Structure 1
Amino acid sequence: MKDPAVKRKTKDSEQYSKELVLGILLTIAILDHTRLFFHYWNTNPGNLESTTPLLFFTRFISHFFAPTVFFITGTYLFIWSKAKSKRQVCYGLLRLALLLISTELVVNNFLWTFDPFYRTIGLFIIGALGLSIGLLAFLQFLPEKFLLVLSLLFLIAHHLLDGIPVTGKSPASVIWYILHQQKYIPSGEYLFIVNYTIIPWFALLSLGYTTGYLYRRKWLLATGIVLTCLFFILRGMNWYGDPKPWIRQETFTKTVLSFFSVTKYPASLDFICITLGPMFIVLHCIEGLQNKLTDFFVTFGSAPMFTYLLSTLVIHLAAMINMELTGGSWSALLITPDSYQQGNVLSDYGYPLGTVYLLWLLFLFMLYGCCKFYHSFSSKRTV
């Protein structure tokens, strides 16, 4: 029987570095989720009139998680597909897509709301990843170079669609929302949320898939530098790359925040450049790095779905228990469409950001123990 730590040490440096980056970014995503449930309710970190540099930064660094997940998933799918026929790849991707979409609708939506009536249904990262993989199942039949060019075109040119706003609840409108336009769709007592629009997120997944054979340490550094520089050029010119241009503010600090306030929903070209660029540079720098600290993060990154879902459960449950212990009602944190409205029962709920960071550290160590147990249990089943 092999110890999970020994198994990790036998991994090639490329896989280890990917899991390390995923682990680091998962811990940052957990910080942002802790902020959502424990900081002052309905606070918008991107509102320059009310935000602080630390609050803005706390949200901004979480942006790196989703693009990294989509791109690295694409590279994993490329490696998995190499020994299979196109038809086998198609069936395998469709099964994975169905599993992810089901997980989003049944599990992830419940963990975010704890509402047994599912009155809030969202298309978030897991569902968007599933839809993107389902689309890849069919488009992978295209020649690789053509699919690569198509993916780049999606990323670069999707802002040309920004001028086509759609309203209503017709099937065609809903399809458009899923493809390109973030939308909150109220319907009676239900609320449907489309956050992760498919065009740019599929392009990221497809880029990882079509450039899998190019994945080299030197390539990562060069691409990372190019993307980071491209962000500063595009953002500095302020005419293309993000639907929300930056504006000179009354203070230098707020001007900097405005400059880096890029659009995630839908993912803008500026957003992709400033997240993927530094991530590639980090992947280049950490390859071959391994010690107790990196093993700590790899424990999270080697089981990202388990870590993500468990962390959401732990954070939401802890918030409900805290609400009950501090004189409120745990049912206030059953998230419904009313929870998104200003002036709701949660308007006076929340803690300073320093408290959020302390809670985040507590959650990390709790989750670390659970993830270690999960790895130990899963390794016993495979021996």
Structure 2
Amino acid sequence: MYTTTSTLTNRIRSIDTVRGLIIIIMALDHVRDFFHIAGATGDPTDLATTTPALFFTRWITHYCAPSFMMLSGLSAYLSGINKTPGEKSSFLIKRGFWLILVEMVFMTFAFTFDIYYKTLFFAVFWALGGAMIVLGIAVRFASPKTILILGLALVLGHNLLDYVKLQENSTADILLRIFFTGRGTFLPRPDGGAIVFLYVIFPWAGIMMSGYGLGMLYKRNADPQRRRKLLLWTGAALTALFVLLRFINGYGDPAPWSSQDTAAKTFISFFNVTKYPPSLLFTLMTQGPILILLALTEQTDNAFSRICTVYGRVPFFFFLVHFYVIHIMTMVTVFLSGYTWQQATDDSLFFKFRPNEFGYPLRQTYLIWILIVVALYWPCKWYGEYRARKRTWWLSYL
């Protein structure tokens, strides 16, 4: 079936719209880390201390990281349609290493504001870059269908490694944790600092590879109606499978749910799945609804979707800039609140200028989140238009 330019434009816009929405939601989690009263000391998923409002403030942001991975894979497929396997592979591998460098230099400093880099963080860009390298190697040798199968195998099967027990802190154990199973791996450095791996590689790569295979639905000659139907039914099936497997309480997540002393806590326990690393149930819970959203927004063009699209077209720019904006705002607010330089830069703080006792209730945290997202709308709009005008090679890495 012939696909018109208009349909193609709407289709591409739907990807940016969904990506923009998850970017907006993502910022809430990072604002919470810096500005909420328990952001530095509490765990919003701890049933003993959390509240429904705090838990679901954290829970809704679970949709962000896996959706970034999936949509990055989908975008990699679309951007590589007119490229040879070698060209696609080279670009993805180079961009992957570039993202890891950005993680080490710019994101670590954005987290810590520590000019000595005593703690080196490997987080989202480490996982995104590592997954791109894995995908880059795969596209050189495998077809999109094979990559889809490999990606699904990683998503479906990596929780089997939860049952593998190796000698603690052996080389094999450390590598297994860094690349597959680690919830957070802290490695001491000879200089007294530490390297912290917050994200693993291959479970996230499985989501990205699955997104790359999903790109086959978006070929220029694809039937839009069939694509929307497949997205809807697949999304509904993944969501239903999550509910079924979670109810059974067997394979798919290392943290089973359990009955609690209140119905609200039992409900929270059911949805309290594992993000680090992303369990099968975590992926089903988040990506089922995202596929449905992709289908429903394909022909959506209204004020809100256009706002989301502004953010969705510049995800790298927003991610990098919003962390610096949040941390600078935190620093200014901390000093205005009466904290001294010594208190704000204490050696015990992972995040400088964010004392553990500092913070506001959830309501004020939401207001700060809205303020930051709105303030970044115009820079994102400017940069998106600049990228559209200046199609130079180096902009494709940003």
The alignment's TM-score, normalised by the length of structure 2, stands at: 0.88
Q: Which residue of 2 aligns with 1:28?
A: 25
Cα deviation 1:259-279 (Å, max 9, x = unaligned): 000000010011000100011
Aligned residues with identical type, % of pairs:
35
What SS class does the counterpart of residue 339 from structure 1 fall into?
A: coil
Deviates more, 1:119-128 or 1:137-146: 137-146
Residue 35 of structure 1: CA displacement?
Answer: 0.3
Cα deviation 1:36-82 (Å, max 9, x = unaligned): 00012221000111101110011000010111111111111111222
Q: Which residue of 2 aligns with 1:184?
A: 185
Letter in 2 for 1:93: L
Q: Which residue of 2 aligns with 1:361?
A: 370
Structure 1 CA distance, aligned partners of 2:59 and 2:346?
24
Pick closer, same or farther for the CA change 1:312–1:359 going to 2, 3 Å: same
1:120 and 1:191 in contact (8 A); partners too: yes
Letter in 1 for 2:97: L
Aligned with residue 350 of structure 1, among 359, 369, 390: 359
1:115 and 1:335 in contact (8 A); partners too: no
Structure 2 CA distance, aligned partners of 1:145 and 1:382?
30
Letter in 2 for 1:209: Y
Residue 193 of structure 1: CA displacement?
Answer: 1.9
Residue 372 of structure 1: CA displacement?
Answer: 2.2
Pick closer, same or farther for the CA change 1:229–1:88 going to 2, 3 Å: same
The question of 1:212 aligning with 2:215 is answered: yes
Cα deviation 1:1-40 (Å, max 9, x = unaligned): xxxxxxxx99711111111111111111101100000012
Structure 2 CA distance, aligned partners of 1:61 and 1:129?
20
Pick closer, same or farther for the CA change 1:330–1:356 going to 2, 3 Å: farther
Residue 346 of structure 1: CA displacement?
Answer: 2.6
Matches within 5 A, 1:84-103: 84-103=83-102
The question of 1:18 aligning with 2:15 is answered: yes
Q: Which residue of 2 aligns with 1:286?
A: 297
Q: Which residue of 1 aligns with 2:153?
A: 153
2:260 and 2:266 in contact (8 A); partners too: yes
What SS class does the counterpart of residue 64 from structure 1 fall into?
A: helix
| Number of matched pairs | 372
Q: Which residue of 2 aligns with 1:295?
A: 306
Letter in 2 for 1:17: S
Pick closer, same or farther for the CA change 1:156–1:379 going to 2, 3 Å: closer
Cα deviation 1:363-383 (Å, max 9, x = unaligned): 111111221232344445459
Structure 2 CA distance, aligned partners of 1:163 and 1:334?
41
The question of 1:53 aligning with 2:52 is answered: yes
Structure 2 CA distance, aligned partners of 1:232 and 1:249?
18
Alpha carbon RMSD of aligned pairs, Å? Answer: 2.3
Q: Which residue of 1 aligns with 2:270?
A: 259
What SS class does the counterpart of residue 49 from structure 1 fall into?
A: coil
Structure 2 CA distance, aligned partners of 1:169 and 1:333?
34
Letter in 1 for 2:70: F
Q: Which residue of 2 aligns with 1:125?
A: 124
What SS class does the counterpart of residue 185 from structure 1 fall into?
A: strand
Residue 198 of structure 1: CA displacement?
Answer: 1.4
1:113 and 1:335 in contact (8 A); partners too: no
Matches within 5 A, 1:219-238: 219-238=230-249
Pick closer, same or farther for the CA change 1:10–1:116 going to 2, 3 Å: farther
The alignment's TM-score, normalised by the length of structure 1, stands at: 0.91
Pick closer, same or farther for the CA change 1:326–1:234 going to 2, 3 Å: same
Matches within 5 A, 1:109-124: 109-124=108-123
Structure 2 CA distance, aligned partners of 1:345 and 1:16?
38
Q: Which residue of 2 aligns with 1:304?
A: 315
Q: Which residue of 2 aligns with 1:339?
A: 349
Structure 2 CA distance, aligned partners of 1:315 and 1:335?
19
Deviates more, 1:285-294 or 1:244-253: 285-294
Gaps of 5+ in 1: 1-8
1:114 and 1:334 in contact (8 A); partners too: no
Residue 355 of structure 1: CA displacement?
Answer: 0.7
Structure 2 CA distance, aligned partners of 1:250 and 1:186?
38
Structure 1 CA distance, aligned partners of 2:265 and 2:180?
29
Q: Which residue of 2 aligns with 1:323?
A: 334
After TM superposition, what 4+ stretches of structure 1 lie above 6 angstroms from structure 2?
A: none
1:22 and 1:68 in contact (8 A); partners too: yes
1:75 and 1:208 in contact (8 A); partners too: yes
Gaps of 5+ in 2: 1-5, 219-226, 393-398
Structure 2 CA distance, aligned partners of 1:129 and 1:106?
15
Q: Which residue of 2 aligns with 1:37?
A: 34
Letter in 2 for 1:319: T
Structure 2 CA distance, aligned partners of 1:193 and 1:257?
29
Letter in 2 for 1:20: T
